Amino acid sequence: MIMAEIHSRLSGIIDSLAQLRKERDELKKEIHKMREELKEKAARAEQLQAELEEKVKTIHILQTANSLNSSEDKEEAKKQVDDLLREIDYCLKLLDS
């Protein structure tokens, strides 16, 4: 009778162990999937950040161009355009080196 109880308990432990291994494997797959999603979201965030920076530059250029239409700020606008051109030249030189 004691042997039957031991056998029964061992069988239960083996079943529990198999279930735990299965759950572990499922969790590993889920972690892998989440890591891949995280990489994708990080890449998307980087892309969106670059787009945002580009749009901010475009807004700045448009604001500068808009100020050219008003006669009172023409000199300031010309200075801003010159500054932007210098910045573009500087960036191009950095890209070339």
pTM: 0.52
Domain range annotation of the chain: 2-96
More confident residue, 9 or 95: 9
DSSP state of 73: G
Q: Among 33-37, 45-49, 92-96, which stretch is predicted with the lowest mean pLDDT?
A: 92-96
Give the C-alpha separation, 91 to 57, whole Å.
Answer: 14
More confident residue, 91 or 46: 46
Cα 68 to its chain centre, rounded Å, is: 37
pLDDT tens track for 78-96: 788 888 888 888 888 888 7
